[in-house]
Amino acid sequence: IITIANQGDRDRAFTASNEFENAIPGNIRSAQFRMYLEFLDENMEGTESWLDSVAARNRGTVFDEIQVLDDHDNLMMAQGRLAEGREYHKKMASLQRNREDWEVLSQTSNRTRRIDSLSMVFDLEWERALLTGDRTKLQAAYTILESEIEAAGGIEEDNEGPRAWFAMVFASTGDMEKASFWREEHRAYHAKSGEENTPWGRMVDAYVDTKNGGDPDEGIRLIQKATEDMGCASSGCWSRLMGEIEESRGNVGAAIDYYEHGVDGYRFFKLRQDEGVIALDNFKLGALNEQLGNTDEAIRRYTYMAERWKNADNDLQPQVAEAHRRIETLLDRKAQEQN
Closest by CA to 308, choosing from 276, 332, 261, is 276
- DSSP codes joined into one string, 44-83: HHHHHHHHHHHHHH--S-HHHHHHHHHHHHHHHHHTT-HH
The span from the CA of 162 to the CA of 19, in Å, is 42
Give the integer Cα–Cα distance in Å for 124 and 105. 23
HSE (side-chain half, CA atoms, 13 Å) at 3: 0
Phi, psi of 26 (to 5 degrees): 85, 0
The size of the chain, in residues, is 339
Give the per-residue pLDDT at 68: 93
- 276 has a pLDDT exceeding 80: yes
CA–CA dist 312, 136 (Å, integer): 20
pLDDT of residue 108: 44
Q: What is the pLDDT of residues 120-171, one digit of tens each?
A: 899 999 999 999 999 999 999 999 999 999 988 888 766 667 899 999 999 9
Q: Are 112 and 148 in contact (CB under 8 A)?
A: yes
Query: With the CA atoms of 277, 185, 96 and 84 taken in that order, what torsion angle do they form, in degrees rounded to the nearest 10?
Result: -30
CA distance 257 to 210: 19
CB 132 within 8 A of CB 144: no
| CA atoms of 53 and 244, how far apart (whole Å) | 38
pLDDT at residue 99, rounded to an integer: 61
Q: Is the pLDDT of residue 104 over 60?
A: no
CA distances from 275 to 68, 79, 124, 271 (A): 15, 9, 10, 8
**Amino acid 158: pLDDT:** 60
pTM of the full structure: 0.91
Work out whether the CA dihedral 102, 85, 203, 238 comes out positive or negative: positive
Contacts of residues 116-125 at CB distance under 8 Å and 24 or more positions apart, as own/partner, are 117/93, 118/144, 118/145, 118/148, 119/145, 119/162, 120/89, 120/92, 120/93, 120/96, 121/93, 121/145, 122/169, 124/86, 124/89
The region of weakest confidence among 29-43, 49-63, 239-253, 322-336 is 49-63
The overall average pLDDT reported for the chain is: 91
